[in-house]
Structure 1
C-alpha cells in the first residue's frame, strides 16, 4: 500500500522541467537583436511554437528554449499582452538601450504591460 502512494510523488519529482522562456538572438550580419520572452500564462506548446518565432523579414535568429530569462536586461515589459489575445508574457530587452523610450511607450500603451528598468547586476 505504501509503495502505491509513493508512485505519484516519485512521478512528480521525475517530471521533466519544461522551458518557460525563449532567448532570441539574431545570427546575421545586421544590427544585433537580443531579447528573451518569459512565459506567464501562455499554454506551453502555443508559447514555444507561436510566441517564440520572430517574424522579421530578411533576418535570421537563433532561438534557445530556457527555464528563465538571464540577468542583464536594460528593460523588461512585464505582463505584456499581444493585441486580441489574453495571454501574458514578460519581454526582456538586451540589445540596444537607446531603444528603451520607444519600447517603454509600446509596452505601456500597446501591450498593456509594466515597464521595469532593472538595477545593475
Structure 2
C-alpha cells in the first residue's frame, strides 16, 4: 500500500510547489510585464523577495498564479538567480524586439535556455 502512496504524494507536492508571480511595472515611458515561475526558490522567499521588486518612480502591480499565462514572446527557462542555486523561468510579454537584449542576458548571466513560444502555433493569447 505504501508503494502506491509515494507517487501520489510526489505528485501532490509538485503541484503544491507550482507558483508564479506576474509583475507589471509602468512609468511615463515604460510598460513592462514579466512572469516569474518558481522552480527551486523557497516559497516564502519567492513571494516576499523575488516577487516584490523595488522600482522607484514606477507603478508596480504583482499578482500570483499557479503558472504563467500564455502569450509570452520569450521565455528564459531554468534561469539562475544572481549566482545562487535558485532557479526560475522568466516569461516576457510586450515588445517582442526586446528579445535581442533579453536572450543574451538569459543565456549568459542567467545561464538559462531561451525559447520563443510565440513563434510556434497556438500561443496567441496575450496577458492583459
Q: TM-score band, normalised by the shorter chain?
A: 0.7 to 0.9
Partner SS state of residue 87, structure 1: strand
User: 1:1-121 to 2 correspondence within 5 Å?
Assistant: 20-118=19-117, 119-120=120-121, 121=123
Unaligned regions of 5+ residues in structure 2, if any?
1-7, 124-128
Unaligned regions of 5+ residues in structure 1, if any?
1-8
Return the index of the structure with the highest Cα Rg. Answer: 1
Q: Which runs of 4+ in 1 moved over 4 A?
A: none
Partner deviation per Cα, 1:71-117 (whole Å, 9 max, x = no partner): 00000000011123110000000021111011000000000000000
Q: CA RMSD in A?
A: 2.0
Deviation at 1:26, TM superposition (A): 1.9
TM-score if structure 1 supplies the norm length? 0.80
Cα distance in 1, alignment partners of residues 28 and 69 from structure 2:
23
Cα distance in 2, alignment partners of residues 27 and 81 from structure 1:
25
Q: Which one has a larger percent strand, Structure 1 or Structure 2?
A: 2
- Residues matched between the structures, number: 107
CA 1:27/1:102 → structure 2, altered by over 3 Å: closer, same or farther? closer
